[in-house]
Amino acid sequence: MTFDVIIRGGEIIDGSGSVRYKKDIGLRGDTIAAIGELSGASAARIVDATGQVVAPGFIDMHSHADQTVLMYPSGESAIAQGITTSVCGQCGFSPAPLNRHWTACFWEWNWWDKVSPRKYYQEVVADLDMVKKHAKETDGLDITWSSFGEWLDVVERTRPGINIVPLVGHGTVRTAVMGTDYRRKATASEIEAMKRYVEEAMDSGAAGISNGMDYAPNCYCSVEESYEVIGVVARKGGLFSSHWRRTGLRQGLGDPGLINGIREAVDIAKKTGVKLQLAHLSPGYLVSPSPTPKLSVCAAEETLAVIDAALKDGVDLAFDVIPNHQTGGVLHVKYVAAVLAPWLKESGTLEQFAANLRAPDLREEIRQYVLSGKWFNLNPILQPGWANEMMIGKSKAGEFVGKTIAQIARERDQHPLDALMDVICADPYSILSRPSVGSDEVKRVFYRHPLAMVGIDTFLVNVTAEVKVPPYYLPNPNSFGGMARFIKRYALGLLGLEEGIRRITSLPAQRLGLKDRGLIAEGMKADIVVFNPEAVAEKSTDEEPRQYPEGFRWVFVNGQVAMEDGKLTLSRSGQVLRKNAQ
Ligand SMILES: [Zn+2]
């Protein structure tokens, strides 16, 4: 027998949750052709997997590898941690459909101020022609598509390093229909126009729809609009991935109570019959002041109680969890000064910001704006314990290092905001660190639930990605090590490796209707990861999150080698997994 590749001597964890077993695997083309004792067979490439685990490629249920897949097509940050498939178009944002406007989705930092200069919140909807010009000039990105189908064609022509499962974003669809006039309910004919866009996306291969109820323009939609627009996806058997409403502040509604955001998503699923995925689940209850681990566990359990009640009620529901929530999100705030981004931007450089902060009137302006709860990066109303959750990681001012802002404020008998500004004055390059307050306990409660999957909620990048202008954000550490963290802390450390692997392979594949992925079995697509579980470790630090994890040796995407004995090959063998093409 001849194969293209034989993976020999590894312990197969097949993704189903069954106990591991020792066998060889033969790949032919993009398919797993044989599993068994293959010592007599020959192959162009033999992989010695002795002492390693061989598992299906990991599926990231929540990814923002949208436009970034064109900028970093090899997908190094995903491949380096064993991810071979990412579910994109999340939180209401997808690259298509486009009409005359563009919805910003947070990777445009290097040029967004040229399109839409703003001191506080960026205006998220801007003229498409302007966006095209700056995306091309600064990021070399050619925006040539308009319909969802055209977008998927562009991704296919780019030959991505990983497989892409695309969702259409309700926010993006709203922009296509309403342009800049989105701070209101849509009319009946606008809703009809949105439904046509969603239908086109589904017919082109979208796996479903996402919403982002904390983001403009999506947060302005009425529940009736959601029923109608998401109803199209329900009728076509797609998935509804919901970034449920957590703050409500952007609509000026005040805090609606987090758990009600989950209830709203469940209500949409009930009404439409759509398959619901609660995105990046976090507790639906706020505990204040900063909770003890026991109180955090309680908030998480009460959140699951709402989910379990919905399941009992017949709602088709599952969820994903970010393995590291303290620093969740697409971006990483490296400098302490960057939590005060509007004023840092205005100052132009870190040094100038520190100099400007010596002026009492600027301090007063910052104090008033922040204390009123208007600034999301530092919001004492939604996050009363914020000063306990910010620590000084590294600083020339040694007396602050390793202390939280709350501690520094107490020691100096100051308001925490003044302590924060003094830290920036003492060394504008002070590095921010986030102690995990009750976060790990919450993850443990969530991941124990049999329907919990993993989403790392990041861009697709490599180690060169950065925001070159203030506030100098970097890609989130999860971009590089989220899956490594899940394997170490929550697969090995909680669920057992077999069950942990199931959560990032066959469980998401089933949820997405990917019939030929997520399992090591004959006839399945050859998306495979070979790794040493004991050696898996994330390497990101507060100062430099852009570090690939350890422990991963080989990654195959559709039968092609994307990581060869620990080295990224930059082979680009991913596909767009179009739903109606399967
Ligand atoms: Zn989100």
Dist. CA 395 → ligand 1 center (Å):
32
Band (pLDDT 50/70/90 cuts) for residue 582 is very low
Dist. CA 323 → ligand 1 center (Å):
14
Dist. CA 246 → ligand 1 center (Å):
10
Token pair 């929550």 is found at 490
Q: Does some domain include residue 512?
A: no
Over pLDDT 70: what percentage of the chain?
97
Domain shared by 108 and 170, yes or no: yes
Dist. CA 329 → ligand 1 center (Å):
8
Flag the least confident range among 122-126, 152-156, 254-258, 530-534. Answer: 254-258
Q: Average pLDDT, stretch 512-534?
A: 98
Dist. CA 475 → ligand 1 center (Å):
15
Biggest CA–CA distance in the chain, Å, is: 79
Segments forming the whole domain that contains residue 302:
60-331+437-507
Residue 527 has pLDDT above 50, yes or no: yes
Domain shared by 218 and 342, yes or no: no
Dist. CA 169 → ligand 1 center (Å):
11
Q: Report how far residue 512's alpha carbon sits from residue 165's, in angstroms, rounded to the nearest whole number.
A: 9
Burial of 562 (0-12, 13-18, 19+ CB in 10 A): buried
Q: Report how far residue 562's alpha carbon sits from residue 43's, in angstroms, rounded to the nearest whole number.
A: 18
Dist. CA 564 → ligand 1 center (Å):
33
Say how many domains are in the chain.
Answer: 3
DSSP 282-306: --SS--SSS--HHHHHHHHHHHHHH
Domain shared by 452 and 497, yes or no: yes
Domain shared by 164 and 42, yes or no: no
Domain shared by 348 and 284, yes or no: no
**pLDDT at 495 (0 to 100):** 98
Q: Does some domain include residue 100?
A: yes
289 cis-preceded (ω within 30 degrees of 0): yes
Domain shared by 236 and 299, yes or no: yes
Q: Name 27's bridge partners.
A: 5, 32
Burial of 153 (0-12, 13-18, 19+ CB in 10 A): middle
Dist. CA 243 → ligand 1 center (Å):
5
**pLDDT at 248 (0 to 100):** 55
Band (pLDDT 50/70/90 cuts) for residue 252 is low
* β-pairing verdict for 552-557 and 125-127: unpaired
Domain shared by 362 and 473, yes or no: no
Q: What digits encode the pLDDT tens for the residues 57-116?
A: 999 999 999 999 999 999 999 999 999 999 999 999 999 999 999 999 889 999 999 998
Q: Report how far residue 427's alpha carbon sits from residue 306's, in angstroms, rounded to the nearest whole number.
A: 46
Q: What digits encode the pLDDT tens for the residues 480-498?
A: 999 999 999 999 999 999 9
Dist. CA 352 → ligand 1 center (Å):
33
Residue 383 has pLDDT above 90, yes or no: no
**pLDDT at 117 (0 to 100):** 85
Q: Report how far residue 354's alpha carbon sits from residue 401's, in angstroms, rounded to the nearest whole number.
A: 18
Higher pLDDT, 109 or 192: 192
**pLDDT at 553 (0 to 100):** 98
Dist. CA 149 → ligand 1 center (Å):
24
What lies within 8 Å, CB to CB, of 114 at 6+ separation is 134
Residue 255 has pLDDT above 90, yes or no: no
* β-pairing verdict for 239-243 and 208-212: parallel
Domain shared by 115 and 226, yes or no: yes
Domain shared by 390 and 448, yes or no: no
How much is the mean pLDDT over the chain? 94
Q: Average pLDDT, stretch 375-404?
A: 91
Q: What digits encode the pLDDT tens for the residues 534-579?
A: 999 999 999 999 999 999 999 999 999 999 999 999 899 999 999 9
Q: Does some domain include residue 580?
A: no
What lies within 8 Å, CB to CB, of 187 at 6+ separation is none
Dist. CA 157 → ligand 1 center (Å):
28
Dist. CA 326 → ligand 1 center (Å):
14
* β-pairing verdict for 2-8 and 42-48: parallel
Dist. CA 443 → ligand 1 center (Å):
17
Dist. CA 33 → ligand 1 center (Å):
38
**pLDDT at 364 (0 to 100):** 96
Q: Average pLDDT, stretch 130-135?
A: 97
Q: Does some domain include residue 522?
A: yes
Q: Report how far residue 462's alpha carbon sits from residue 40's, in angstroms, rounded to the nearest whole number.
A: 40
Dist. CA 279 → ligand 1 center (Å):
7
Asked if 55 contacts 111 with a C-beta cutoff of 8 angstroms, the reply is no
Dist. CA 522 → ligand 1 center (Å):
36
Token pair, residue 214, equals 């904390």
Q: What digits encode the pLDDT tens for the residues 151-176?
A: 999 999 999 999 999 999 999 999 99
The one-letter code for the residue type at 159 is: R
**pLDDT at 250 (0 to 100):** 54
Burial of 572 (0-12, 13-18, 19+ CB in 10 A): middle
504: number of Cβ within 10 Å: 30
Dist. CA 10 → ligand 1 center (Å):
37
Q: Average pLDDT, stretch 325-354?
A: 91
Residues with CB under 5 A from ligand 1 (ion): 91, 243
Q: Does some domain include residue 577?
A: no
Closest CA to 573 of 167, 72, 204, 158: 158
Dist. CA 90 → ligand 1 center (Å):
7
Asked if 195 contacts 232 with a C-beta cutoff of 8 angstroms, the reply is yes
Domain end point (choices 484, 507, 530): 507
CATH code: domain of residue 525: 2.30.40.10
Q: Does some domain include residue 131?
A: yes
Strands (E), 132-216: 163-169, 208-212
Token pair, residue 333, equals 């705030």
Q: Average pLDDT, stretch 225-248?
A: 93
DSSP state of 87: E
Domain shared by 420 and 462, yes or no: no
| 8-13-15 Cα angle (round to 5) | 130
Q: Does some domain include residue 256?
A: yes
The one-letter code for the residue type at 121 is: Y
**pLDDT at 373 (0 to 100):** 87
State the DSSP H helix or E strand holding residue 32, giving kind and residue range, or none if neither.
strand 31-36
Q: Report how far residue 286's alpha carbon sits from residue 163's, in angstroms, rounded to the nearest whole number.
A: 37
Domain shared by 93 and 159, yes or no: yes
Burial of 253-273, coded b for 16+ CB within 10 Å and e otherwise, reads eeebebbbbbbbbbbbbbebe
Domain end point (choices 486, 507, 528): 507
Dist. CA 258 → ligand 1 center (Å):
14
Q: Average pLDDT, stretch 199-208?
A: 98
Domain shared by 247 and 146, yes or no: yes
Domain end point (choices 479, 507, 535): 507
Residue 247 has pLDDT above 80, yes or no: no
CATH code: domain of residue 106: 3.20.20.140
Q: Does some domain include residue 578?
A: no
